[in-house]
Amino acid sequence: MNDIVVENLSFAYEGTDRLILDGISMHINEGDFVCLLGQSGCGKSTFLRLLAGLEHATSGSIKMDGEEIKGADLNRSVVFQDYGLFPWKTAGDNILLALRQRYPQRSKKELREVAIDMLQQVGLNADVYKKYPKELSGGMQQRCAIARSFSMDPPVLLMDEPFGALDAVTRARLQDMLLSLWNNESEKKTVFFVTHDVEEALLLASRIFVFGQSPSHIIFERTIDPADRSTRETLYKSTKVAELREALIANINQDVMSRMD
């Protein structure tokens, strides 16, 4: 079981004594879709970096399957907020690099086909394969980063505002794609998904956490009963969703106001 257990996690960046995260605890079951909300600067990206193994707890722990997360590995892939594509490599080579680590036994031709298929699935043309990140728009780069992450097919996906730069139609399409990937019964995926968009969290999440401002701790959490999950059709019809929406907005606003006083 790929449960992720965070215990009393606190974190300060090396060389600083300012705590960014302070006493975060959560038990995430394999197959949870976790949405993280919170004001800009509260530490959401930092938390994802810790989950990825790119930073290490100052105190407390993060364990996956009972083992402390010590570094990056193929079990977790990240879609970074700034896309994280290597600028000196083409979009295709960025994806190939990841695929080669994941499927070292497959031929380059085979992996190339997987990469092109993924680019098309996220709504990009095959000719994007040969383009460098600087030749692509922000939304196209973001979709390349998503294609790279999905093509790795890891049990845990860490996504930092992955749909932030996309138009509404592309965004809805990718939300649906992510949900169908997540819903795959035979292979449960755990997703950590940072968003500023309450509606997006209501549509996607099975667990929602709101982080308060720095030093950040959890100020609100809710587990959504599978029977109460909303779809695009029921998002504005269900009273339970309306109640949760109100609670989320109230908590986020209260946190902002408390810093203004």
Ligand X SMILES: Nc1ncnc2c1ncn2[C@@H]1O[C@H](COP(=O)(O)OP(=O)(O)OP(=O)(O)O)[C@@H](O)[C@H]1O
CB of 16 to ligand X, least distance (A): 6
| Minimal distance, residue 38 CB to ligand X, in Å | 6
Q: Is 17 in the site for ligand X (CB under 6 A)?
A: no
Nearer to Mg ion, 20 or 219 (CB): 20
Quick check: 21 and 11 in contact, CB under 8 A? yes
122 Cβ partners below 8 Å, 6+ apart? 143, 144, 146, 147, 150, 174, 177
Instruction: Please give the Cα distance from 59 to 243 (Å, whole number).
Output: 35
Interacting stretch for ligand X, rule CB under 6 A, among 12-20, 84-92, 168-176, 201-209? Answer: 12-20
Using rule CB under 6 A, residue 44 touches ligand X: yes
Q: How far apart are CA 32 and CA 156, in angstroms?
A: 10
d(CA 167, CA 173): 10
Stretch that binds ligand X, among 36-44, 70-78, 119-127, 225-233 (CB under 6 A): 36-44
- Supply the minimum distance, in Å, between the C-beta of residue 69 and ligand X: 17
The site that binds ligand X (CB under 6 A) totals a number of residues, namely: 13
β partners of residue 184: none
Contact 202, 210 (CB under 8 A): no
Per-residue exposure over 60-86, b if at least 16 CB sit within 10 Å of its own CB, e if not:
bebebeeeebeeeeeebbbbbbebebe
Nearer to ligand X, 43 or 92 (CB): 43
Residues 6+ apart with CB under 8 A from 163: 142, 170, 171, 174, 175, 195, 200
Any contact of residue 77 with Mg ion (CB under 5 A)?
A: no
Q: Does 13 bind ligand X (CB under 6 A)?
A: yes
Question: Per CB under 6 A, does 105 bind ligand X?
Answer: no
Q: Which residue among 24, 26, 28, 42 contacts ligand X (CB under 6 A)? A: 42
Q: Does 52 bind ligand X (CB under 6 A)?
A: no
> Does the protein bind Mg ion through residue 45 (CB under 5 A)?
yes
The answer to the question of residue 20 lying near ligand X (CB under 6 A) is: yes
User: Which region among 35-43, 57-65, 202-210, 238-246 touches ligand X (by CB under 6 A)?
Assistant: 35-43
